[in-house]
Amino acid sequence: MTAVAPDTTHHTALHQRVRDFISADRPMLIGGEWVSSASGRTFETIDPATARPITSVAHGDATDIDRAVRAARQAFDDGPWTRMKPNERERLLWRVGDILTERAEEFGQLEALDNGKAATIAAAVDTQWSADIFRYNAGLATKITGSTVDVSMPFVPGGEFHAYTLREPVGVCGLIVPWNFPLLMASFKLAPALAAGNTVILKPAEQTPLTALLLGEVFHEAGFPPGVVNIVTGYGEAGAALAAHDDVDKIAFTGSTEVGKKIVDAAKGNLKKVSLELGGKSPNIVFADADFEKAVAGSVAAWMFNHGQCCVAGTRLFVERPIFDDFTAAVAEAASQAKIGPGLDPSTELGPLVSQEQFDRVSGYLSAGLADGARALTGGKRWGDEGFFIEPTVFVDVEPSFSIVQEEIFGPVVAAMPFDADTGVAAAANDSIYGLAAGIWTTDLSKAHRTARQIKAGSVWVNQYNGFDTAMPFGGYKQSGWGRELGSSAIELYTQTKAVNISL
């Protein structure tokens, strides 16, 4: 492989280890070895702040996926991993959490470079939360239990039995993740999968492969046996090969609903288990009695955090009619103040979108919204003339049928709509194929509880947005997914139950 000379013009503040990491082509991790793709091909990963290459990574395809699945199978069937005691897995996972904490600045910078988000946020949120997830799941490794069952066995009169259940790992798990929170989405899956004793193949998104590869070094440093964690970088074809592979027992996927449906089709061959975290178009509901300032700040963060590239982004803003004009004006004003720039600039609040493709897609929605008759209170166009920046955009005068209201845009764009107290807001809020999250802003406790029950979504946040916690389950209603990640129940996604009944 040949290294691409990285553009270093805005890399002056980079950590030496990040410089070293991007100064050469990055191989992938299969069976404990750092290897090139079988084809020898590589692909460039791009800095979205400049549209220039950062470095090249191995271009894995179906052949490499097959190599990785074999390595994971061998590690599951023959390796020391499955003979390890739960407390040994606990210590390894805890160590990963500690290393991530120690190296948070490095991970934050690399994520900022590859994804475009602010390095400070990538260190403080993406990396430190990932560390927390590894430590939380380290604790779960020793708490995976079956149960004893007092069976009746009516067809064996007089018999005596000892019956119990075992909770066992599923086996070889394929983990396919998107580019919006590259390290975090990988951690959501890796930590419970490994706590439960599975072996894994991680396929990061082609736009953002770098922190997954750096995480591979952390697994090595922590002392994981070879083949337990394999990382194959590549495009959708590599993900498709993983989803279709007959020797993979489970696929955990985060990404678009469109690709999620393809995963379901591909998994049919061997009926592998599937869990899905998919798209969203979440309602954020502001009642007239809400704390105005708090609701404005929270509602801006709801759709602008991570440049709108959040599956849970509160991009349908429902505001009770008496405060609609003032509230949307305040949201537009606050959004227009956001400092736009590259993720490596510490003052940046809004970075670039991740890729040219995403930039074109979001630009298309801006044009469609305006053509449909929506009015932009702020934004509505590209920012600057380099990189993939879009101005934060607040649309009003929108109809429920507009594509900017129905479809996931995945950029810093919100569509605001008024609602009336007498008709309520639940029907409009639930008018979506998605059901991932929702926000509610009110000072009336009864209204908060009542509305939380009416909303069809996997997470509801009251007087806050993005109210995630490692201990709270997360996942989607409707076409936003299957299963719940995070929380202790995530272990269920990576284990299966065996019923043992012994005639005494």
46 lies in the binding site for ligand NAD (CB under 6 A): no
For the stretch 176-199, what's the b/e string if a residue is b when 16 or more beta carbons lie within 10 angstroms of its beta carbon? bbbbbbbbbbbbbbbbbbbbbbbb
Q: Which of 142, 256, 336, 496 binds ligand NAD (CB under 6 A)?
A: 256
The nearer residue to ligand NAD, 236 or 322, going by C-beta atoms, is: 236
Helices (H) and strands (E) in the chain, counts: 17, 22
Residues that contact ligand NAD, how many (by CB under 6 A): 31
Known catalytic membership, residue 277: yes
The nearer residue to ligand NAD, 144 or 266, going by C-beta atoms, is: 266
The nearer residue to ligand NAD, 141 or 201, going by C-beta atoms, is: 201
Cα–Cα dist 391/372, whole Å: 19
239 lies in the binding site for ligand NAD (CB under 6 A): yes
Cα–Cα dist 156/368, whole Å: 69
Between strands 375-378 and 393-396, the pairing is antiparallel
Q: Which of 176, 353, 377, 438 binds ligand NAD (CB under 6 A)?
A: 176
259 lies in the binding site for ligand NAD (CB under 6 A): yes
262 lies in the binding site for ligand NAD (CB under 6 A): yes
Q: Which of 329, 411, 405 shows the shortest CA–CA distance to 373? A: 405
Q: Are 202 and 230 in contact (CB under 8 A)?
A: yes
Question: Cβ 357 to ligand NAD, closest distance in Å?
Answer: 9
90, 106, 111, 277: the catalytic one is 277
Q: 184: helix, coil or strand?
A: helix
277 lies in the binding site for ligand NAD (CB under 6 A): yes
Q: Which burial class, exposed, middle or buried, applies to 442 when counting CB atoms under 10 A from its CB (0-12, 13-18, 19+)? A: buried
231 lies in the binding site for ligand NAD (CB under 6 A): no
The nearer residue to ligand NAD, 113 or 177, going by C-beta atoms, is: 177
For the stretch 248-258, what's the b/e string if a residue is b when 16 or more beta carbons lie within 10 angstroms of its beta carbon? bbbbbbbbebe
Cα–Cα dist 186/29, whole Å: 15
Cα–Cα dist 73/321, whole Å: 58
Q: Are 438 and 394 in contact (CB under 8 A)?
A: no
Amino acid at 220: H
492 lies in the binding site for ligand NAD (CB under 6 A): no
The nearer residue to ligand NAD, 439 or 476, going by C-beta atoms, is: 476
Question: Cβ 165 to ligand NAD, closest distance in Å?
Answer: 29
The nearer residue to ligand NAD, 65 or 491, going by C-beta atoms, is: 65
317 lies in the binding site for ligand NAD (CB under 6 A): no
111 lies in the binding site for ligand NAD (CB under 6 A): no
Those residues with Cβ within 8 angstroms of residue 310's Cβ, 6 or more apart along the chain or in another chain: 180, 466
Taking CB under 6 A as the criterion, which residues in 445-484 touch ligand NAD? 476, 480-481
Q: Which of 192, 279, 411, 487 binds ligand NAD (CB under 6 A)?
A: 279
Cα–Cα dist 248/246, whole Å: 6
Question: Cβ 479 to ligand NAD, closest distance in Å?
Answer: 10
The nearer residue to ligand NAD, 262 or 447, going by C-beta atoms, is: 262
Q: 174: helix, coil or strand?
A: strand
Q: Are 453 and 230 in contact (CB under 8 A)?
A: no
- Residue matched to tokens 């404005």: 296
Q: Which of 94, 129, 136, 179 binds ligand NAD (CB under 6 A)?
A: 179
The nearer residue to ligand NAD, 106 or 277, going by C-beta atoms, is: 277
Q: Which of 61, 106, 408, 492 binds ligand NAD (CB under 6 A)?
A: 408
Question: Cβ 312 to ligand NAD, closest distance in Å?
Answer: 7
192 lies in the binding site for ligand NAD (CB under 6 A): no
Cα–Cα dist 443/434, whole Å: 27
DSSP-H helix ranges across 387-433:
403-406, 426-429
203 lies in the binding site for ligand NAD (CB under 6 A): yes
Q: Which residues are catalytic?
A: 277
Residues near ligand NAD (CB under 6 A) are: 176-180, 185, 203, 205-206, 235-236, 239-240, 243, 254-256, 259, 262-263, 277-280, 311, 408, 410, 436, 476, 480-481
